[in-house]
Structure 1
Amino acid sequence: MTTTAPPARNWFDQGGSAYARFRPGYPPALADFLAGAAPDRRLAVDAGCGNGQLTGVLAPAFERVVGIDPSADQIANAAPHDRIDYRCAPAEHMPLPDASASLVAAAQAAHWFDLPAFYREARRIARPGAILALVSYGVLRLDAALDERFQAFYRNEIGPYWPAQRKLVDTGYATLDFPFDEIAPPALAIRSEWTLPQLLGYLTTWSAVRSAREAGRDALLTAFAADLGKAWGDPEAPRPVCWPLNMRIGRL
């Protein structure tokens, strides 16, 4: 007797608007590094692009950028750009011709992919000498007055509600199979100044938060927001937030 495994959950299928508003953007220095490592600047492909956090940053550095995501809702919330073409498709079946891409990137997305299938597609669409970049950002850091409470929430309270794939992000994709000649990346980070509503809005985009709500654990989230609000002070006062960037860069 055979059984069919349930389809993998698309955590972000209906979250495009919040995702576009609250997810952090990538620094231009990341696009500059990737463009400099690529054999040319003709075409960059952003697989699992969501609503274009990395796609938009790549646009000034490449002649053309294609953003690919299986969620029509995510793509509908992407900002238009004259160099960007968004397409609704999975990373494992990218609608691009052979030997066309100078860069194939996946930002905060590779842990959702069927990696062997994605790697086959990346090799198929890659130009000679093209670059493959798997980018992720780690757990955000707040200033000293807030960070201890935030880290306890992330590790201990919301931690059990993260899908298993989150462990791959926490390790910076270090344990992912990556059968390519690797290139050492520079040390980069995402830095911003956020108000308390912006930070809490960002948390609503977490798959773990949605999972906790589905499990009836709204009280856990409310208690954390109350604690952070007391430590924050004026909720409209911006405070520094930082995410370290992690990368696996290889030559296809």
Structure 2
Amino acid sequence: MRSTERFTGLANIYGQARPTYPQELVRWCLEQAPAPGVIVDLGCGTGISTRLFASTGHPVIGIDPNADMLATARAEGAQDYRVGSSEHTGLPDACADLIIAAQAFHWFDLDGTFAEVERIGTPRSACVAFWNVRLEDTPFMQGYETLLRTWSTQYEVNERAGRTINAIRERATQAVLREFLNPVPMDRERVRNLALSSSYVKHGVADIPAFLQALDALLDATSTHGKVQMRYATRAIAWRVHG
């Protein structure tokens, strides 16, 4: 299955359940471009990161190849969303001051994406890729990680983020790494939807009802007043597009 199709049918619960990103990350991203004007969000999905950066007052263009995800994004707000990929955005040359990719760069073809970023980036532009990576520092977080590794034959998201960061560092000029703590309180319904919004659950878990029963048992054992804290470290890498 092509990576562009892995999230088809998941857009609604993806948009409802997925966490956003900390404001400290947004400020840091904006600091990477000397004069951030137009921002391009590659692999924008349902527009979680697009809306977050648009709230700073900068114009943001969201690019995604999946029509299902873009339909949900457009229903959430009047941002500029366009069908395209990280290798073929359809944007004009030198139009972007800041290029971002939230929870997406591990799906991209690196050669094609780096070439496209150089084409659309202004002379002083920057690119930032970032991921919410789950921590394993509480009983719930440890249990959730074990659950995914036990039930899904395709689970390797944390490893993909790390491998992609390393691959970017081998290519990028003056790459800078930062990490931001991002804890997100969630109730049972949101945790269940978060799990179901993952492509590695949809395509990698053979028995979804049994998986959800196991998840409910974990929540029964670790929640407080019906809620848990989904604890993330938002890991980011930034680099100058043109050196």
Which bracket does the TM-score occupy, shorter chain normalised? 0.7 to 0.9
Q: What amino acid is the match of 1:10?
A: E
57-66 vs 100-109, which moves further: 57-66
What are the superposed Cα offsets for residues 112-155 of structure 1, whole Å, 9 maximum, x if unpaired? Answer: 111111111100010111111111121255743x2332221133
Q: 1:211 aligns with which of 194, 203, 221?
A: 203
Whether 1:112 and 2:107 are equivalent positions in the alignment is yes
Q: Secondary structure at the match of 2:165?
A: coil
1:22/1:202 contact within 8 Å kept: yes
Give the number of the structure whose alpha-carbon radius of gyration is greater.
1
1:66 aligns to what? 61
2:165 aligns to what? 174
Whether 1:126 and 2:117 are equivalent positions in the alignment is no
Q: Which runs of 4+ in 1 moved over 6 A?
A: none
2:226 aligns to what? 237
Q: Secondary structure at the match of 1:187?
A: strand
Higher relative contact order (CA 8 A, sep 6+): 2
Corresponding pairs, count:
238
Q: Secondary structure at the match of 1:226?
A: helix
Q: Secondary structure at the match of 2:5?
A: coil
Q: 1:28 aligns with which of 23, 28, 35?
A: 23
Whether 1:151 and 2:134 are equivalent positions in the alignment is no
Structure 2 gap ranges (5+): none
TM-score, normalised to structure 2, is 0.88
Please report the RMSD computed on the Cα atoms of aligned residues, expressed in angstroms.
2.3
1:250 aligns to what? 239
Q: 1:48 aligns with which of 43, 52, 55?
A: 43
1:32/1:61 contact within 8 Å kept: no
